[in-house]
Chain A
Amino acid sequence: MYDLRLSLTQGSYLDQTELLNAVSSIDHADWITATEPRLILPTLVDASSAAQSVIVPGRLIGTDTGSAQTRVNDLYITGGHGLEGEPADAPVAVLEHKFAAFYELPPQGDIRLSGDRSLRYVGTGLSPEYFVVFTDEGGMMAEANFAVVFLSLQTAQTLVERPGMVNDVLFTLAADADSDTLRAELAVAVDELANVGASFMVPQDDPAYNMLYEDIAKDELFWRAMAYLFLAGAVFGAFNLATRLVEAQRREIGIQMALGVMPRWIAIRPLLVAVQIAVLGVVFGLIIGVFVGDAFGDLLQTMMPLPISLQPFQPRIFLEAAALGIALPLLATLFPVLRALRVEPVDAIRTGHLVAKGGGFAPLLARRASSRVLTWMPLRNLLCAPRRALLTLLGIAAAITLLVLIMGMLDSFAVTLDQARVELLQANPERMLVQLNFFYPENSPIIANISQSPVVSGADASLKLGGYMIHDDTTVETLLDMVDMTSTLWRPSLASGSYPGERPGVLISAIAARDLGVQPGDTITLRHPQRTGLLSYGWAESEVEVSGIHPLPLRFQTYMDFRQAEMMGLAGLVNALQVTPAPGVTQDQVQQALFDQFGVASVQPVSAVIRVFEDLIGEFVAIFSVMQVAAVILAVLIAYNSTSINIDERRRDMATMFAFGTRVRTALRVEIVEHLLTSIFGTALGCVLGFAFLVVLLTQVFDVVIPDIEMTITVQPLTLLVALVIGVLVAVLTPILNLRKLIGMDIPSTLRVME
């Protein structure tokens, strides 16, 4: 992959030879070991076949396929063959692998490009810049909606009628090269050459590289947070279990203490049980971990195929997990063991009525009129043993917390997407975006052909530009959409502030406003392209007012009034349009009709833009859906475990009731109501804690992982309902599942053994 990338300002092109000469003339040209000039242009790719219709926006990447000196980014061929053996001007290409794989295209075939140009692709391949496919709009893993076509530089220049022109250069640098110095020298060289602006990227600025290498630490932070939450739930379950195991051994411990056994020897037995549970759990967990790790590796390899993908066994991670898996249950057991050892032996070995402990909070209801005892018994039981009730309640709460957290994340994704959908569609859901491959005069035939096409009922000219917003020391990269703010077709909504007036103003996202520390009425610096010639654009900075905040939850999205394009020297020019299909015309028909128009780079419904956002968070949604299932299972297990232990602890009361002829169904009802009360409180607590963790996770962790999206933190009523249903189901089902135990209870033995 490149060490340094130079991109000319949007819309600028330079002669290939002149540019390379300028590059070789800089002071430290010897630091550059390879130079790859490229021509990159947006396009629309039609890969439709008889079986399916595939028309997506994409990118043409013309690159020199000659000597090694001009090869920086390798193309790893996954099907067919590369361009090396083909003549430089042959109308052939290599199709990006993920796009081809997504639509199951053959390794060789024909595609059409916008402007009615045909091309044969001779192979499919992977390029480092597209190991993860990103779109200009920030879409991630967007292979379904974005096609990259690699072809020879000469072929690209011919196709887009820019002979000899390039707009992008990749460099490989010597080990001792200073890229900052080179950047400065190259910027001056380009500017001197044609008064053209240039931007530079190092691999760390590349979104694909970032995601694969730089974001790993952030991703790991997120997954670790999730893993620790799962672990916390499991540890709490272990603590609950251990506490009750130790309590069940209270008498044995007391006898040993009375016999003078040293406390440390007494502690060993329950601790050994904990070790046994921990070791078995760890072994089981590690085996599952290996399988899940492999499955995840395969999943990732499918989602993000790489030329070389190694999944070595990671002893450090597994050792860490094993250490935690053994240490935490041990610690969870240690506390109740130490607590048991603090009890006086005489208290521990007592039997019969002398065992009777305090009545907890039961006296609160002591003077309530006595009638329908069995109706009130569940509440009284809970009040009588608050610690036991609390442990059960917390066990359920831990499970529900996890569930609400996972489902809350999915809810937050869904609501965030809905917000984006509502904003982008508004009252015109059929709206489509047409992107042009260059800036064209508003009154040019190209624009007229589109706006006056019979398939279109309305069209608004607009400009799409890249840029930066700067305030104090903070810079936010932005995608500037210059649209008609008085349009009836579509205009951004206002969350706060007002539409820009006569003075240059922008509508920015709430998250950008927060990052920049500004609010409506403040002024920021906008770094934007500035037209300097027919095919040349430089960078300029202008002070603009933050007129308002739009509700789209994307940090980089900024809107400006189309009429203020003069600020960029772009008055009267257009590089995008928003159109509405004519009555009775489908979006597909518009796409087909405009595909052949010269200058059209892409035509896509606005709903397709939403799909880009969906893709952006789709990866998380898919994985969370799996985690959701795991959370539900864990929730049910923890809750079942806690409730089941509780039932065991109530066996003596049950036996007494049965001795008095209380029907099993009546006893079961008492059990169910008791667990229902615990579950409802546990579920309520779990919902509150789940929401609290959700807020922390999304504000503290997710902000780092996906900083461009402002999540609307929410827990949907359905999630709460699912949590409640699970809580209630467990409360109802656990006693029912234990019904066999109740029915088969040896009443005399239970009454005696419990003594």
Chain B
Amino acid sequence: MENRTGIRHSIIELEQISKRYRMGDVGVAALDNVSLCVAPGEFLVVLGPSGSGKTTLLNLIGALDTASSGDICIAGQNITRMNRAQRFRYRREMVSFIFQSFNLFPGLSALDNVQFGVESAERKPNGMTAREMLERVGLDHRLHHFPHQLSGGEQQRVAIARALATGNPILLADEPTGELDFKTGIQILELLHEQSHLDKTVIIVTHNREIARVADRVVELSSGHIVRDGVPDNHKTAIADLSWEEARDETMAIVDALVLARLASAMAAGRGDCADHRARHRHLQRTHQHVPLAAAVE
């Protein structure tokens, strides 16, 4: 989304945002003077260890929480000055949440959970029905199943479909793969990444650095401050542009490169069974002869 001058507008603008809590007599700054802009359709990953303030950031953008100071403008609206009713309306019309533990309604089928998303936004999302949303996330065969009848990955797909069903432009995901296995997690990330291509702004909060590899942009938080903001380190080839198999191969290559480096180090120091080390070293080199292992390690 660019203006006539070619400058992309931000859909999300955080200006000097701080959030302080009181824990007994002690004041804790979850976020301290954080400023951030996010463009429409951007796929942003917020990284950080526990307590770094990343979930607080997500909650502030989602208007689930209010900032102690600073301004948050979403699509030109300053949500920090909104009253309660306006914040509810904002959530209905602008943002959708995807939770770590999905938070599906246990009494509703997959279809009805998604239908909730349709109805909560009080508008038709791109003319798509709940059924079509579930088809889009590959669950057209599980329409009438209840959460307890679905696997974790399927539940998260329903949660995504529910969020998409709202038709809201911003998707906020809090550790969306936290309860999923690696493969399912990758699938979910792919699904979320697709949405950014459909003009949805996606913000994912996670402590998993692997997830950051799929992002367009990574913001890293530490102790309430942004310590890094840019493309992922290994963004020479955007992993999101790779197929599943390619992404898996590249990930395995990284692991194998690390193993190679340790084997070389062990052989040089004469530690362990050198014959075995050499055999494994040769095997790994043969396996990855077409992959620039050195680059991966770097």
Contact = CB atoms under 8 A, between A and B. Distances in A.
Interface of A: 351-354, 356-360, 362-363, 366-367, 370-374, 376-377, 380-385, 652-653, 655-664, 743, 747-748, 751, 755
Contacts of A370: 109, 111-112, 115, 130
Contacts of B88: 658, 661-664
Interface stretch (B59-67, B191-199, B230-238, B267-275): B59-67
A377 B107 contact: yes
Interface of B: 55, 59, 62, 64-65, 84-85, 88-93, 96-97, 99-103, 105-109, 111-112, 115-117, 119-121, 130, 144-149, 152, 155, 166, 178-179
Max count, chain A CB within 10 A of own CB: residue among B92, B107, B115, B144: B107
8 contacts: A352-B100, A357-B106, A359-B148, A657-B120, A660-B91, A660-B96, A661-B90, A751-B99
B106 A353 contact: no
B195 to A, nearest CB: 17
B90 A384 contact: no
Max count, chain A CB within 10 A of own CB: residue among B62, B102, B103, B166: B103
A425 to B, nearest CB: 58
Given A356-B147, A755-B101, A660 B179 contact: no
Contact of B116 (A367, A373, A382): A373
Contacts of B144: 366-367
Contact of B120 (A385, A655, A661, A755): A661
A677 B146 CA distance: 22
A591 to B, nearest CB: 71
Contacts of A380: 105, 107-108, 112
A244 to B, nearest CB: 17
Max count, chain B CB within 10 A of own CB: residue among A354, A360, A384, A664: A384
B115 A373 contact: yes
Contacts of A351: 101
A359 B120 contact: no
Contact of A373 (B65, B112, B145, B179): B112
A663 B145 CA distance: 27
Given A353-B102, A380-B108, A661-B120, A359 B146 contact: yes
A663 B122 CA distance: 11
A661 B93 contact: yes
A359 B92 contact: no
Nearest to A351: B101
A661 B149 contact: no
Contact of A352 (B84, B145, B179): B179
B67 to A, nearest CB: 13
A589 B105 CA distance: 77
Contacts of B101: 351-353, 755
A205 B146 CA distance: 72
A364 to B, nearest CB: 11
A381 to B, nearest CB: 5
A209 to B, nearest CB: 64
Contacts of A358: 148
Interface of A is mostly: helix
B97 A373 contact: no
Nearest to B63: A661
Contact of A377 (B93, B108, B121): B108
A356 B120 contact: no
A751 B174 CA distance: 11
A660 B100 contact: no
B75 to A, nearest CB: 15
Return the 7 tightest CB-CB contacts between A and B, nearest first. A661-B92, A384-B107, A661-B91, A380-B107, A352-B101, A359-B146, A356-B148
Nearest to A382: B107
B146 A660 contact: no
Nearest to A666: B120
A363 B145 CA distance: 8
A321 B155 CA distance: 52
B64 A359 contact: no
A36 to B, nearest CB: 80
Given A351-B101, A370-B109, A751-B99, A660 B62 contact: no
A360 B148 CA distance: 10
Contacts of A367: 144
B64 A353 contact: no
A363 B112 CA distance: 12
A359 B97 contact: no
A89 to B, nearest CB: 91
A356 B145 CA distance: 13
A659 B64 contact: yes
A374 B108 contact: no
Contact of B62 (A383, A655, A659, A743): A659
Contacts of B97: 659-660
B108 A353 contact: no
Contact of A356 (B55, B90, B106, B112): B106
Contact of B152 (A353, A372, A384, A659): A353
Contacts of A360: 107
A664 B119 CA distance: 15
A755 B148 CA distance: 15
A236 to B, nearest CB: 25
Nearest to A652: B103
A363 B146 contact: yes
A675 to B, nearest CB: 15
Contacts of A373: 108, 112, 115-116, 119
Given A370-B130, A663-B88, A748-B59, A359 B106 contact: yes
Contacts of B93: 661
Contacts of B121: 661
Contacts of B155: 353, 356
Contacts of B91: 658-661
A657 B121 CA distance: 11
A367 B62 CA distance: 33
A374 B102 contact: no
Contact of A662 (B100, B120, B145): B120
Nearest to A352: B101
Contacts of B120: 657, 660-662
Given A357-B106, A371-B115, A660-B97, 18 more contacts: A351-B101, A352-B100, A352-B102, A354-B179, A359-B148, A362-B106, A366-B109, A366-B144, A367-B144, A370-B115, A380-B105, A383-B107, A385-B106, A660-B116, A661-B88, A662-B88, A663-B85, A755-B101
B107 A381 contact: yes
Nearest to A664: B88
Contacts of A652: 103
Contacts of A747: 64-65
A52 B173 CA distance: 84
Contacts of A660: 91-92, 96-97, 116-117, 120, 166
Contacts of A748: 55, 59, 64-65
A369 B146 CA distance: 15
B136 to A, nearest CB: 16
A362 B179 contact: no
A370 B115 CA distance: 7
A753 to B, nearest CB: 11
Contact of A653 (B105, B115, B119, B179): B105
Contacts of A661: 88-93, 120-121
B112 A353 contact: no
A479 to B, nearest CB: 65
B74 to A, nearest CB: 13
B46 to A, nearest CB: 15
Max count, chain A CB within 10 A of own CB: residue among B65, B109, B179: B109
A206 B109 CA distance: 72
Max count, chain A CB within 10 A of own CB: residue among B93, B97, B119: B119
B168 to A, nearest CB: 9
Contacts of A382: 107
A529 B178 CA distance: 97
Contacts of B64: 659, 747-748
Contacts of B62: 659
B51 to A, nearest CB: 13
Given A358-B148, A380-B112, A659-B64, A385 B100 contact: no
